[in-house]
Structure 1
Amino acid sequence: SETPSLLKIQKLAEFMNHRVPAHKRYQPTEYEHAANCATHAFWIIPSILGSSNLYFLSDDDWETISAWIYGLGLCGLFVVSTVFHTISWKKSHLRMVEHCLHMFDRMVIYFFIAASYAPWLNLRELGPWASHMRWLVWIMASVGTIYVFFFHERYKLVELLCYIVMGFFPALVILSMPNTEGIWELVTGGVFYCLGMVFFKSDGRIPFAHAIWHLFVAFGAGTHYYAIWRYLYLPSTLHTKVSK
Structure 2
Amino acid sequence: PCRTSSFTEMFMNCRVPSSKRYQPTEYEHAANCATHGLWILPSLVGGSLLYFHSMDQWHRVAAWLYGSGLTGLFITSTLFHTAAWKIGHLRCLEQRFHMCDRIAIYFFIAASYSPWLMLRELGPWACHMRWLIWVMACLGSMYVFFFHERYKLVELLGYVAMGSVPATVILSMRAGVCELAMGGILYMVGVFFFKSDGLVPFAHAIWHLFVAAGAGIHYYAIWRYLYRPEDLISVC
The reply to whether TM is greater than 0.5 is yes
The match for 1:72 is 68
Q: Which runs of 5+ in 2 are unaligned?
A: none
Q: Within 2, Cα distance between the matches of 1:166 and 1:129?
A: 16
Instruction: Identify which of 89, 102, 113 aligns with 1:93.
Output: 89
Following superposition, the deviation at residue 131 of structure 1 comes to: 1.6
The structure number with the bigger radius of gyration is: 1
Instruction: Identify which of 91, 100, 115 aligns with 1:104.
Output: 100
1:202 aligned counterpart, secondary structure: coil
What code does the residue aligned with 1:83 have? L
Deviations 1:84-141 (A, max 9, x none): 1011101112222110000110110000000000000000002123320000001111
Instruction: Identify which of 206, 209, 216 aligns with 1:222.
Output: 216
Identical aligned residues as a percent: 65
The yes-or-no answer on 1:206 pairing with 2:200 is: yes
Report 1:73-222 matches (<5 A).
73-176=69-172, 179-222=173-216
Deviations 1:48-78 (A, max 9, x none): 1100000010010000000000000000000
What code does the residue aligned with 2:114 have? A
Following superposition, the deviation at residue 146 of structure 1 comes to: 0.8
Under a length normalisation based on structure 1, what TM-score does the superposition of the two structures give? 0.92
The match for 1:60 is 56
What code does the residue aligned with 1:146 have? M
CA RMSD of aligned residues (A): 1.3
Under a length normalisation based on structure 2, what TM-score does the superposition of the two structures give? 0.95
Q: Which runs of 5+ in 1 are unaligned?
A: 1-5
What code does the residue aligned with 2:208 have? H
2:225 touches 2:232 (CA, 8 Å); kept in 1?
no
Equivalences, count: 231
Q: Within 1, Cα distance between the matches of 2:91 and 2:125?
A: 46
